[in-house]
Amino acid sequence: MGRWEPDARGRLAAAALALYAERGYEQTTVAEIARSAGLTERTFFRHYADKREVLFAGAGELEDLFVRAVAGAPAPAAPLAALTVGLDAVAEMFADRREFARRRHAVITANAELQERELIKLASLAAALAGALRGRGVAEPAASLAAEAAVAVFKIAFERWIAPAEEASMQQLIRESLTELKAVASGA
Amino acid sequence: MGRWEPDARGRLAAAALALYAERGYEQTTVAEIARSAGLTERTFFRHYADKREVLFAGAGELEDLFVRAVAGAPAPAAPLAALTVGLDAVAEMFADRREFARRRHAVITANAELQERELIKLASLAAALAGALRGRGVAEPAASLAAEAAVAVFKIAFERWIAPAEEASMQQLIRESLTELKAVASGA
Is the Cβ–Cβ distance between A181 and A149 less than 8 Å? Answer: yes
Is the Cβ–Cβ distance between B152 and A145 less than 8 Å? Answer: yes
Q: What pLDDT sits at residue B160?
A: 95
A80 Cβ contact list (under 8 Å, min separation 6): A146, A149, A150, A178, B184, B185, B187, B188
Interchain contact, B188 vs A152, CB within 8 Å: no
Nearest residue in chain A measured CA to CA from B149: A149
pLDDT tens figures, A132-168: 999 999 999 999 999 999 999 999 999 999 999 999 9
The CA distance from B186 to the nearest CA of chain A, in Å, is 6
Nearest residue in chain A measured CA to CA from B127: A156
- 3-class DSSP state for residue B166? coil
pLDDT tens figures, A39-65: 999 999 999 999 999 999 989 999 999
| Interface mutation vs chain A, best among B121, B138, B184, B186, most A CBs within 10 Å | B184
pLDDT tens figures, A90-125: 999 888 889 889 999 999 999 988 999 999 999 999
How many C-beta atoms lie closer than 10 Å to residue B74's C-beta?
Answer: 8
Is the Cβ–Cβ distance between A52 and A26 less than 8 Å? Answer: no
Distance, in Å, from the CA atom of A138 to the CA atom of B183, rounded to the nearest integer, reads 13
Least CB–CB distance from A149: residue in B83, B115, B184:
B184
Q: List the one residue out of A38, A161, A141, A147 whose CA is nearest residue A94.
A: A161
Q: What pLDDT sits at residue B71?
A: 96
Interchain contact, A181 vs B145, CB within 8 Å: yes
List chain B residues with CB under 8 Å of A83.
188
Is the Cβ–Cβ distance between A87 and A150 less than 8 Å? Answer: yes
Least CB–CB distance from B186: residue in A116, A176, A186:
A186
Q: What pLDDT sits at residue A77?
A: 87
Distance, in Å, from the CA atom of A116 to the CA atom of A24, rounded to the nearest integer, reads 17
- On the 0-12 / 13-18 / 19+ scale of CB atoms within 10 A, A2 is exposed
Q: How many residues does chain B have?
A: 188
Q: Per the CATH hierarchy, to which homologous superfamily does domain A8-47 belong?
A: Homeodomain-like (1.10.10.60)
Q: Residue A3: pLDDT band by 50, 70, 90 thresholds?
A: low
pLDDT tens figures, B115-130: 999 999 999 999 999 9
- On the 0-12 / 13-18 / 19+ scale of CB atoms within 10 A, A79 is buried
- DSSP-assigned states of every residue in B19-75: HHHHH-TTT--HHHHHHHTT--HHHHHHH-SSTTHHHHHHHHHHHHHHHHHHHTS-S
Distance, in Å, from the CA atom of B20 to the CA atom of B29, rounded to the nearest integer, reads 10
B21 Cβ contact list (under 8 Å, min separation 6): B103, B106, B107
Topology annotation, domain B53-186: Tetracycline Repressor; domain 2 (1.10.357)
Distance, in Å, from the CA atom of A85 to the CA atom of B143, rounded to the nearest integer, reads 25
Q: What pLDDT sits at residue B97?
A: 85
What residues 77-106 of chain B have any CB closer than 8 A to a CB of chain A? 77-84
What residues 156-175 of chain A have any CB closer than 8 A to a CB of chain B? 156, 159-160
**Boundaries of every domain in chain A:** 8-47, 53-186
Q: Residue A4: pLDDT band by 50, 70, 90 thresholds?
A: low
Distance, in Å, from the CA atom of B106 to the CA atom of B88, rounded to the nearest integer, reads 25
- DSSP-assigned states of every residue in A10-76: HHHHHHHHHHHHHH-TTT--HHHHHHHTT--HHHHHHH-SSTTHHHHHHHHHHHHHHHHHHHTS-SS
Least CB–CB distance from A119: residue in B79, B81, B123:
B123
Nearest residue in chain B measured CA to CA from A122: B119
Q: Residue A188: pLDDT band by 50, 70, 90 thresholds?
A: low
pLDDT tens figures, B23-36: 999 999 999 999 99
Q: Is any Cβ of chain B less than 8 angstroms from the Cβ of A123?
A: yes
The pLDDT tens digits along chain B (188 residues) read 345 667 899 999 999 999 999 999 999 999 999 999 999 999 999 999 999 999 999 899 999 999 999 999 998 889 999 999 999 999 998 888 898 899 999 999 999 889 999 999 999 999 999 999 999 999 999 999 999 999 999 999 999 999 999 999 999 999 999 999 999 998 85
Q: List the one residue out of A123, A145, A114 whose CA is nearest residue B109.
A: A123
List chain B residues with CB under 8 Å of A176.
141
Interchain contact, A156 vs B141, CB within 8 Å: yes
Q: What angle do CA A59, B155, B79 make, to 5 degrees?
A: 95
Interchain contact, A148 vs B160, CB within 8 Å: no
Q: What pLDDT sits at residue B95?
A: 82
